[in-house]
Amino acid sequence: MVVVDTKTILAQVCAEYGWSLKAIEIMPDHVHLFLEASPDDTPSSIARTLKSISAVHIFTAFPKLKERKFWGSGLWSRGCYYGSVGAVTEESVKKYIENQKSNIGGSE
């Protein structure tokens, strides 16, 4: 299943790069990730690494996905949103991410 594999590969990349993955949710058109990284790792480099490695793995595992859904284009869009935790607790961010699917009525 693409959702499970996407979560797995993103978690593996985080572990390999020393980033602590706190929460993840795969939505129909985007991904919510909450992770902790060194100040030396910029948000843009983290996103670029996660997107590039995961796209290769996903398209290798699901070659029909590239043909059918993406017509030869990339898996991820160029855009990203980065935010930092400061005014809210880590637990609040985790709960927000974990509840995203229930907020739209979707399921895995």
Rounded to 5, what percent of the chain is helix, strand, coil?
55, 10, 35
Return the DSSP state at 68. I
Amino acid 91 reads: E
Catalytic (active site) residue 82:
no
Catalytic residue among 17, 81, 82, 96: 96
d(CA 55, CA 38): 24
Would you please indicate which residues are annotated as catalytic (active-site) residues?
A: 96
